[in-house]
Structure 1
Amino acid sequence: MTTQSNLPLAGVRVLDLSRVLAGPWCAMVLGDLGAEVIKVEHPQRGDDTRDWGMRVGATETAYFNSVNRNKRSICLDLKTPEGQQIARDLIRKSDIVIQNFKFGDIERLGLGYEQMKEEQPGLIYCSITGYDRTGPEAARPGYDLVIQGEAGLMALNGEPTQPPLKFGVAAVDMMTGMYAAQGVLAALYDREKTGLGRHVGMALFDCGLMITAYYGLEALLRGNDPPRYGNAHPSIMPYGVYEAEDGPLVIAVGNNSQYLRFCTEVIERPDLAEDERFKTNLERTKHREELVPQLRQAVGARKRKELLERMTRVGIPCGEVAGLYEAMTSPRTVEAGLVNKMPHPVAGTVDVMSSPYRFNGERLPVRSAPPTLGEGTNEVLADLLGLSEETLKALKKRGVV
């Protein structure tokens, strides 16, 4: 059974100086894996996302909660000399620091990597910026929506008749957070061998460009933008969303033998399997304009249940297109334990998503719900830095904590 003490990153402490999404996502991943994560927030405002989306309790929102499980929150005004000193003291007690301040701001606070590494050579320090820290755009602020436009992601998303379209979620921020966590874990592994830390630098634009994947490489081969296919696949046919008589479903025919079974045993159109234009996947993609209307007609004449049963029987990947609420409350989600009801001091209970990680067949537990603003300030500063109750009261009176 997984316990607090045998989680993979048990004993590792993270000081999360970041806000909004990419940095907090990185910190949450480390927290999911067992690290102790201390999130530093402004005493009055907190993380920006505490004011984004639907309210939960007095200081949280659904947006904030989606990226801050398994953390403690402390309030600290880093613009004050006392707040900066407390942050330095906390860094000395930490293994990992994550920050996404505007370029140069963290150094002006005296909390930059170069300022801390001399006295703490084992420190792993992750900086997340919008653009390359060594390039001419280093000082530009980075926002997911802007990067989606600049990295070409909007140009590949959506239907061909639509204007450029963003992803439904902040995909660049989320992927940057995941890449950042991977970099931190690699630095942590390296420290075991060398005893030395690393400065892990991540740029939103770099990660946004990585998301283009095969689309990006095809653009280079073509010398121009590849066409957009909406819910269809650029390289595999038939592979996408189709409308049955009573609603949409996903059909993912991955190879030629599946296509043969699909035509003969699912939609009962063997002629589409025998046609030379459609026998191989390469030919089907070349002749998609001729094939797609016939597939839509055949699928649209049948009920979803019948189609899904037939495809499942002959081993063709398929599924219904669910609404988001339907997906979040489905038996599949419930049985997998992907959403937890956890106690909340104001709301009574709060929904918290689970970690996706499983070790030895067991899902890692959610140890704590996303924190209320500053809930851990007194306890963390007393336990780690030995600050007395009187000192904490005085700091709070001056607005430092």
Structure 2
Amino acid sequence: MTNPASSLPLAGIRVLDLSRILAGPWCAMVLGDLGAEVIKVEHPGRGDDTRDWGLRVGQTETAYFNSVNRNKSSISLDLQSAEGQRIARELVRKSDVVIQNFKFGGAEKFGLGCEELRREQPGLVYCSISGYDRSGPEAARPGYDLVVQGEAGLMAINGEAERPPLKFGVAAVDMFTGMYAAQAVLAALFDRQRTGQGRHIEMALFDCGLMISAYYGLEAMLLGEDPPRYGNAHPSIVPYGVFDAADGPLVITVGNNSQFARFCRDVIQRPDLAEDERFKTNINRSANRAALIPELERELRTRRRMDLLKELAAADIPCGEVLGLHEALTSQRATDAGLVTRQPHPQAGSTHVLAPPYRLDGERLPVRRAPPQLGADTQTVLESLLGLTPQELSRLKSMGTV
């Protein structure tokens, strides 16, 4: 990126990331991508739980950890100790944003609760992430993505109709919660410019999980029961989904009636289907999908995938290959976009890190910092922000505080 880090939108904002696992760290990473200085606080011995999840990278990182912790520094700090709590509070005073997802009451136990901190620092933006409504009867329940996928009805809308409920391939509830939280933090920072006051943002996994149901959720309310599951097909648009060509699967998304007419005439050479009253409109096609889809499947299975993709593109019908994940990450499209980077690593030599998805003024935002080793920045951060001397750091280390 040609622009310096100081020109990024959140340059000058400091975030203290007291969270772990996924939703909170995802929120902090988004803020870091946009230019904030993010200090991740971890336990000196074990660090974030995700440092022990999945495939190992070096001595203290994993692919899971690295996916959600770029553009951060890491300090190790024992928040169970009085000294660790004191240092954390001093770091809060130097910060604009605090993100935490402690168990219910945990932040208050450590002297890091919102009310206590904002009494001294009214401009602090404080983000609490929990499993459930912090003012409701389930406030103390721990939040886990898979549990919420089940409880929010998401598993019930995923997968094939004849198969059991299915979870999303990734921790979608955690990720959406992190994104919603980042949006709220940005809004609170904007509001602070006008009022000088911070905000207490409270995000619950269950709330965000329910929001993901989107149009499926509203259809369930209209029906008074669960809508059908359609697997790779669309509940409302036909034909729209994954289809098998003679040599592999492809995605075809016919979004309106004129596209359907072109699809039948120019791609599969079946104009009779476009003229059939049962299929002329999308509402009719949706009602009669059981009659239409087998006809389309028969036609598509006789044609090669690349030929179909060319003909669909020529007919201005959105379409694409169905790639494996490794194929997608190593595709020319991903390479040209600069979406997968290699960052230096002290043990592994180098490691892959996904780039931020944002482009500002035509440039992709950079990976300014590779995901950090556990506690790699403890000395630098505590010396520069709090003025701790090498002797004080040595004493804290001997006590196990850092």
| Range into which the TM-score falls when normalised by the shorter chain | over 0.9
Match of 2:322 in 1: 321
Residue in structure 1 matched with residue 272 of structure 2 by the alignment: 271
SS at match of 1:384: helix
Query: In the alignment, is the contact (CA less than 8 A) between 1:15 and 1:98 conserved in 2?
Result: yes
How far off its partner does 1:359 sit? Answer: 0.7
Identity across matched positions, percent? 70
Task: Give SS of 2:16's match.
Answer: strand
SS for the counterpart of 1:343 is strand
Give yes or no for the alignment of 1:144 onto 2:136.
no
Measure, in 2, the Cα distance between the counterparts of 1:382 and 1:19. Answer: 24
Aligned to 1:356: 357
Q: Give the conservation status (yes or no) of the 8 Å contact 1:126–1:201.
A: yes
CA apart distance, 1:269: 0.8
Give the aligned residue type for 2:399: R
* Separation in 1, partners of 2:362, 2:300: 38
Paired residues of 1:246 and 1:304 also in contact (CA < 8 A):
yes
Partner residue of 2:232?
231
1:19 counterpart residue number: 20
* SS of corresponding position for 1:261: helix
Residue aligning to 1:311: 312
Q: Which amino acid aligns with 1:269?
A: R
Instruction: Write the distance in 1 (CA, Å) between the matches of 2:201 and 2:51.
Output: 27
CA distance in 1, matches of 2:302, 2:88: 65
Q: Is the 8 A contact 1:7 1:34 kept in 2?
A: yes
Q: CA deviation at 1:2?
A: 2.0
Determine if the alignment matches structure 1 residue 127 to structure 2 residue 128: yes
- Deviation, structure 1 residue 271: 1.0
- Separation of aligned partners in 2, 1:24 and 1:80: 23
What's the counterpart of residue 7 of structure 2? Answer: 6
| Aligned positions of 1:237-256 closer than 5 A | 237-256=238-257
**Is residue 113 of structure 2 the alignment partner of residue 116 of structure 1?**
no
2:169 matches 1:168: yes
Kept in 2: contact 1:219–1:226 (CA 8 A): yes
- Tell me, in whole angstroms, the C-alpha distance in 2 between the residues paired with 1:304 and 1:3: 45
Encode CA deviations 1:69-106: one digit per residue, 9 max, x unaligned. Answer: 00000000000000000000000000000000011111
Alignment match, 1:391: 392
Aligned to 1:37: 38
Q: Determine whether 1:281 maps to 2:282.
A: yes
2:371 corresponds to: 370
Maintained 8 Å contact 1:2/1:364: no
CA drift at 1:48: 0.2
- Give the Cα separation in 1 of the matches to 2:197 and 2:236: 45
1:63 aligns with 2:76: no
Aligned equivalents of 1:210 and 1:134: distance in 2?
Answer: 19
Q: 165-174 vs 103-112, which deviates more?
A: 103-112
Distance 2:96 2:352 in 1: 30
Q: How big is the shift at 1:3?
A: 1.2
Runs of 5+ unmatched residues, structure 2: none
- What is the aligned partner in structure 1 of residue 100 from structure 2? 99
Q: Partners of 1:80 and 1:202 in 2: how far apart?
A: 27
Secondary structure of 1:90's counterpart equals helix
Partner Cα separation in structure 1 for residue 287 and residue 90 of structure 2: 63
Return the alpha-carbon distance in structure 2 between the equivalents of residues 369 and 379 of structure 1: 16
- The letter for the 2-side match of 1:109 is F
Distance 2:213 2:105 in 1: 29
The whole-number CA distance in structure 2 between the counterparts of 1:84 and 1:194 is: 29
Q: Residue 157 of structure 1 contacts residue 165 of structure 1 at CA under 8 Å; is this kept in 2? A: yes
Residue type at the aligned position of 1:92: R
Deviation at 1:370, TM superposition (A): 0.1
1:262-305 Cα deviation digits (max 9, x unpaired): 00100111111111000000000000000111111011110001
Q: Which amino acid aligns with 2:172?
A: A
Q: What is the identity, as a one-letter code, of the residue corresponding to 2:304? A: K
What is the SS of the residue equivalent to 1:118? Answer: helix
Aligned-residue offset at 1:257: 0.2
How many equivalent residue pairs?
A: 401
Structure 2 counterpart of 1:183, one-letter code: A
Code of the residue aligned with 1:272 in structure 2: it is L
In the alignment, the residues of structure 2 paired with residue 206 and residue 119 of structure 1 have an alpha-carbon distance, to the nearest angstrom, of 30
Q: CA deviation at 1:197?
A: 0.3
Amino acid at match of 2:131: G
Give the Cα–Cα distance (whole angstroms) in 1 for the partners of residues 33 and 112 of structure 2: 26
Structure-to-structure mapping, 1:175-254, within 5 angstroms: 175-254=176-255
Where do 1:336-347 residues align within 5 Å? 336-347=337-348
Aligned Cα root-mean-square deviation (Å) = 0.4
Q: Give the secondary structure class of the aligned counterpart of 1:340.
A: strand
Q: Which structure 1 segments of 5+ residues have no match?
A: none
